[in-house]
Chain A
Amino acid sequence: MSTEHSTPMEYSTETNALNIIGFWVFIGAEIALFATLFATYFIMEGRIADGPSGGQLFVISTLMIQTFVLLTSSFTIGLGVNAMRLGRKGATLTFLAITLVLGAGFVGVEIYEFYEYVHEGLSLQTSAFSAGLFTLLGTHGAHVSFGLFWGAGIIVQIVKHGFTPRTANKTFIFSLYWHFLDVVWIFIFSFVYLKGMM
């Protein structure tokens, strides 16, 4: 264990440093994955067959709630990591919990939104547009949902073991993941919703 004075705990072992770089490379692969999904969506955008188009469906209120909730959760996970670096366990756990609650809120609104879409005649099978839209949003939503379970697991581990190089590493990597999902959402917000509504 090479612990320099300035090295944060999440980097403090060789395995930890490798894990973090490995996760960055994984995010690279995730960018390629979402880029493909976005490309698909852009191609399918106007191919609505007999179904409704994005402009007819997208609602500003749910969009703003989702965006506000997810962006705030990205801020709180940042505060969580900051608290972790200051060694404040209670604050870290609180911020992690708030992050997950906001994430769950996001997923909840998204499910409600999907329900509304289906209600208005846009199901997965309606058109190429619907397939592209649901797959892009669904993949992002599935990532957030996966993150909820992952984050809950990390909370349990911090409660159990406190801050160790292992738990600190997991928390930090989870924060990278969460920020990444936020960035993807910004693209969805701009290039799916705003573009669709204009």
Chain B
Amino acid sequence: MEFFKQFAVPNPTPTIYLSMVAIGLTLIAVLAGITYFKKWGYLWSEWLTTVDHKRIGIMYLISALLMLFRGGVDALMMRAQTSMPGNELLSAAEYNEIFTTHGVVMIFFMAMAFITALMNFVVPLQIGARDVAFPRLNALSFWLYFMGAMLFNLSFVIGGSPSSGWTSYFPLAGNELSPHIGTNYYMIALQIAGLGTLITGINFIVTIFKMRAPGMKLMKMPLFTWSALITNLLITFAFPVLTVALAMGTMDRLFGTHFFTMDNGGMAMLWANFFWVWGHPEVYILVLPAFGIYSEVISTFSKRNLYGYTSMVVAIVVISTLAFLVWVHHFFTMGQGALVNSIFSITTMAIAIPTGIKIFNWLFTMWKGKIQFTVPMLYSLGFIPIFTIGGVTGVMLGIASADYQYHNTMFLVAHFHIVIIPGVVFAMLAGMTYWWPKMFGFMLNEKIGKWAFWNIAIGTCLAFFPMFISGLDGQARRMYTYSEVAGFGIWNLLSFFGALGLAMGFILIVFNVYYSARYATRDIGDDPWDARTLEWATRTPVPEYNFAVTPQVDSREPFWDSKYEGKTLFKEEIKDIHMPNNSGQPFIMAAFFFVAGFGLVFSLWPVVYVAAAGIAVLLFIRSFEQDDGRHIHEQEIRDTENDKRGETR
């Protein structure tokens, strides 16, 4: 019995018990459903073993949406708790856990997965490639991310969630002040998911550098591909820092080392530095692809080519460089002294320059354009003003001396949500709606989509603008309650209503998926938006091999030019196409990582050894494997192409 006690949740409440029952029942229902409808074979051969970048992208998308709801429910609980002074809906301990998991889930498992979903689906199509450079590794990336996310979410019902904030600062996150295993989940789940992200980074750098269609020079790449390239470079150089920091944090917690402790020479500030040396580039890892999406969407729906393409590319590159030079602004108040703070204050404010260039370029793209107010365009239009407000408050926070007033108040919380929601979430929803027809062969309903947009846009403003005021009035972040005389009540109540608006918006999006899947026409052709880049030049839904013939490119908007300038994209004859084989190894290996991770969380060493041996064996199997892929025969391609033509034209 003693053995099982460690798996108990430390602060059990009826909610958690109910969740356990709900999770158990859902699992049983899903497993029973798959068995009843005899879908195990389909699930295994079409999804769990797939190495197709489009399917992997779709799995990322589904996971991201699920995590969006997990993180969203956390957010609603926080806003409900603080909606009234002295509220007792949640205890302080529960509140700590919820703001921690909200941040981790939203950043690592929602936003990262969402950008990876769109990169996976879109980038190979946009550059005219058949797949990514390393399809097998791509599958491994997804499954590592997925297992990391599942391991982290398991903490809710087994052993208890981490509670030292998504930044997990030491010494708070150390054994002394967080004796419970919750923080182990944080360290190890992020390590596993981070490994997946690093592999994605390497994979996409090689893909974009080496697999572009003939004629697509670097300066002819679509902006989304450019942003994906720079994002993956950031991933490749920033994530190893997180890897090391997490490993050292894990060693402090499990092996009693003294990296971040208060005694024996340990240095807690080192964690804060490493965390943000990774963490600030991470902000741009999330927002650069978003900028890429906006560039595509605004250009498509203004019916104009992108204004200032070269300056857009330069701006992305400058932002990515500055991203590594600003990390100290996350802790101006932690005693670096005036000189260091001044330097980082200046580099921080400098980021506003390339970002401002991008904003003006988008505005100039729309200038004299024929603007179509579709759902993706609405998100882009909503993004510009709201994001700019967030950016300007960022410059306010970047002034080191003034930051002493704002630091760790709700003003900061307002700032980063007002930046990251329009900057990332709007972009992801815009991108999802924009590429949805390519992914699934039908369009999302515009009317419901617009309702969802207005709920989300107004909800965002209502939820976070009041925090600027309560923050300036002195409301600290991460406090589970406040007294009535503080006068924060009204602002927090408004925030709660805003959060409800956001929730309503997301419910409408889910309803939209259901409604459109059921009623939308499948007769949409290959290019429903009259778009400009290569991903629209192939069939809908996209065949396994993407392009029957590799396109040949000689401009920035090859598809547009082929439609309206009479250029030919596909000049060659159809030939046999070489494709990689499916494999179950990535899924199995990631499952071993999950087991090893669980063992590490609870220091169950035999479990760790067995799982590690499993991983090693799989590495050897992979090394000795003789798998040259397979060929899709020319006739088969012709049949597929003719079929699709008959169906959609």
Q: What chain A residues lie within 8 Å of B620 (beta carbons)? A: 149, 153
Residues from chain B with a CB closer than 8 A to the CB of A40 are: 244, 248, 259, 270
* Residue among B133, B134, B209, B624 with most chain A CB within 10 A: B133
Whole-angstrom CA separation of A166 from B270 in the bound complex: 43
Contact partner, A153, options B133, B243, B623, Cβ 8 Å:
B623
List, in ascending order, chain B residues with CB within 8 A of A116's CB.
none
In whole Å, how far is B571's beta carbon from the nearest beta carbon of chain A?
A: 20
Most buried by A among B202, B257, B270, B274: B257
The residues of A that contact B206 with a CB separation of less than 8 Å are 18, 21-22, 25
Measured CB to CB, the closest approach of chain A to B609, in angstroms, equals 16
Separation of A152 and B510 alpha carbons in the complex (Å): 52
CA distance A48 to B265 in the complex (A): 6
Stretch at the interface among B10-18, B233-241, B340-348, B522-530: B233-241
Residues of B within 8 A of A22 (CB): 133-134, 202-203, 206
Q: Which residues of B contact A37 (CB under 8 A)?
A: 244
Q: Are A17 and B210 in contact (CB under 8 A)?
A: yes
Chain B facing A: main interface SS: helix
Indicate whether B606 reaches chain A with its CB closer than 8 angstroms: no
Q: Are A33 and B244 in contact (CB under 8 A)?
A: yes
Q: List 9 A-B contacts (CB under 8 A).
A: A18-B133, A25-B206, A29-B240, A128-B267, A131-B258, A132-B259, A135-B257, A157-B623, A166-B626
Q: Select one of B210, B243, B255, B624 contacting A125, CB under 8 A.
A: B255
- B237 and A131 contacting across the interface, CB-CB below 8 Å: no
**Docked complex Cα distance between A126 and B258 (Å):** 8
Known: A18-B210, A21-B209. 5 other contacts (CB 8 A): A32-B240, A124-B251, A127-B264, A128-B258, A128-B261
Interface residues of B in 577-632 (CB under 8 A from A): 616, 620, 623-624, 626
Q: Is B543 an interface residue (CB 8 A)?
A: no
Cβ A128 vs Cβ B266 within 8 A? yes
Contact in complex: A126, B264 (CB < 8 Å): yes
Docked Cα-Cα span, A37 to B241, in Å, equals 9
Nearest-CB residue, chain B, relative to A33 = B240
A127 to chain B, nearest CB (A): 5
Number of B residues, CB within 8 Å of A? 41
Q: State how many residues of chain A have any CB contact under 8 Å with chain B.
A: 38
Q: Which of A4-41 contact B (CB under 8 A)?
A: 17-18, 21-22, 25-26, 28-30, 32-33, 36-37, 40
A30 B133 Cβ-Cβ under 8 A: no
CB distance from B419 to the nearest CB of A (A): 26
Min Cβ gap A79→B in Å is: 23
Interface residues of B in 217-273 (CB under 8 A from A): 236-241, 243-245, 247-248, 251, 255-259, 261, 263-267, 270
Which residue of the partner chain B has the closest CB to A47?
B265
Check A49 for interface membership: any CB of B closer than 8 A. Answer: yes
B205 within 8 A of A: yes
User: Shortest CB–CB separation between residue B437 and chain A, in angstroms?
Assistant: 31
A43 proximity list for chain B (CB < 8 A): 267, 270
**When the two chains form their complex, are residues A124 and B255 in contact, meaning their CB atoms are under 8 A apart?**
yes
Q: Is A49 a contact of B198 with CB atoms below 8 Å?
A: no
Docked CA distance A36–B261 (Å): 18
In the complex, B201 has a CB within 8 A of chain A: yes
